[in-house]
Amino acid sequence: MVSVLRSLTATFDKKIMGDTQKRVEAVYIGENGEPGITFKDYKKIIEDYNEGDTSAAIVLEFTAVAELSQRSLDIKAVMTDENYINFFPCMTMKKGTFLDSNMVKNGEKAAVVSSELARKLYMTEDIIGNRLFLGDTKYKIVGVYDADIGVLSDLSDDGYERIYIPYTSFETDKNIDYLMANGLRYKYGVVFSIKELIDRTLKRKAAYNYAERNYERYDIVTKQFENVLYLLLGLVCMYLLIKNIVAFLKQRVGFYRSKLRDSYIKEMIRKNILTIALDLLIMFGFAGILLFIWRIVKFEFYVPSEYLPPDNVFDIGFYIEKIKAVIRQSNSQIKANYAPFDAMLQSTLKIAWILTAFIITGFVDLMLSLRIAKSAQMPKVRFALCSMGSIVLGIAAGYLVVCFMGIDYSLPFKFIVLILCFLILNSGWIFEKITVKYEGVSQSISS
C-alpha cells in the first residue's frame, strides 16, 4: 500500500502537475447568459500577464461524425490555443502534432483527437489527414493524443472523449469555461489574484461568475499523505531508539558507580579512559542514527490558506462553514463546468486518503503481531527471515497493483529504510549486540 501511495503521488507530480508548479485557474460556475469572459477578453487579459504560460478553453458538446464511415460519437470539443497542452503533461502525442500557433492564428479547421476516439470511429490510430464533422463544419485530423493515466483517468473522466480545435475556427458567444495560468505575477511587478486581474483588465465585474482555484503548492499537498506516514513511523523509531539509549545509559551508570566505590573520579577516568572513549563513541553513534531518522522524516507541512482562519486557528465556526462549502461545491458539481485538472487532483486525494487509512490500520496490526511474536519467543533468525520476506513480498505486490492501476511505479525508499529501522529497534537486537560485544571489549581493555 505504501508503494501504491508513493507511486500515486509521484505520478501526479510528474504526469499531471508537471512543470506548472504555480498553476491557477478561473473556472466558470455561472449560467452562460451571465457576464463572463470571451476569447476577445482573454486576449486583453494575457497582455497584462508576463510570467509563464496561459491558456483558456470553451467546451462545446457535439456529435462527431467520421466523413467516410459515417460512424458517430457524442464528444466534447475543446476550443483552445496552442498552450493548452503545456498544462496537461499527461497528454502525450502518439501521432501527428497538437495545435500550433499558426493553426490558431489562421483559424484552421484542425482537430486533435484521442486514441480512444480514433479506435471507436476509425478502428485504427493511423488517421492523420482524415476528416470528421463537428456539426456542419468539417475538420482535418492533425494529431492523436493519449491521456491515459490508468485509474486516475477512469475516476476523473466525465464519460466524454475530447477533440481539441483552435478557438478561432468556430464562432460562439459562449463564455470561457476555464482560464489557466502558470503564476500570478503581472505587469509592473504587482501580484493580483486571477479574479482581480480579470476585473482590472476588463474594467468590469467579469470575474463574478468564476471560481478561482490556486494549485500553486498542491504537489506538496498530495505528498503530505506519505510524508505524514513517514513522520509517524520515524517518531516510533526515535522512541524505540531513545529507549535503547536510556537502557544503555542505565547500564553504564551502574558500571561507573561500581568503579567509583574503589577509586576517585580522576583515578577512575585514568584507569578506564578507553572504556569511556568507547561509551562516547556509542553515544555519538546513537545520536547520529537519531539525527539520520529525523532528517529522513521531517518535511514542510502545508495547508492552503483558504482552509485556515484569518485570525484564530481554533475558530471552530470557520471550519464548520468550510466543510459546508465543500459539501455544497460537491453537490453542485453536476451543474458546474467540468475542470479536468481539478477532477484528477480530487481523484488523487481520495485514493490517497483511503490508502493512508489502510496503511495506518495495517501498521497497528503489525505492532500487535510483533508483540505476539515476542511473547511466543519467536527465534531471532526466523523473525528476521519472516520480516525480510514480508518486505520483499509487499514491494512485489505493490508493483503488481501499480501496474494494474496503470500508473508509474516508484519504490518507497524512505519507507523501506524506516521499516527496517523499526523492526531492528523493536526487536532490541542493537542493544543486545552492544551489550554482548561491549562486555567482551570492556574486559579486554580492563585486563
Three-state SS string over 392-418 comes to HHHHHHHHHHHHHHCCCCCCCHHHHHH
Q: Does the pLDDT of residue 12 top 50, yes or no?
A: yes
Question: pLDDT value at position 431?
Answer: 67
- The confidence band for 326, taking pLDDT boundaries of 50, 70 and 90, is low
CA atoms within 13 A on the CB side of 369: 11
In the chain, the largest separation of any two C-alpha atoms, in whole Å, equals: 105
Which residue, among 101, 106, 40, 104, has the nearest Cα to 78 in the 3D structure? 104
Rounded Cα distance between 216 and 320, Å, is 25
Rounded Cα distance between 413 and 416, Å, is 5
Angle between helices 218-260 and 340-375 (to 10 degrees): 20
Which residue, among 89, 81, 135, 136, has the nearest Cα to 112 in the 3D structure? 81
Question: pLDDT value at position 436?
Answer: 62
Tell me which of 18-22, 371-375, 439-443 is least confident. Answer: 439-443
- The confidence band for 220, taking pLDDT boundaries of 50, 70 and 90, is confident
**Reported pTM:** 0.80
Let me know: does 87 contact 141? Beta carbons within 8 Å: no
| pLDDT > 90 in the chain, percent | 33
Tell me which of 69-73, 102-106, 153-157 is least confident. Answer: 153-157
55: which DSSP letter? Answer: E
Residues whose CB is less than 8 angstroms from the CB of residue 87 and which lie 6 or more positions away in sequence, other chains included: 18, 20, 23, 53, 55, 180, 182, 341
End-to-end CA distance of the chain: 54
Rounded Cα distance between 173 and 38, Å, is 7
Question: pLDDT value at position 196?
Answer: 81
- pLDDT (tens digit, 9 = 90+) per residue, 222-267? 889 999 999 999 999 999 889 888 888 888 888 888 888 877 888 8
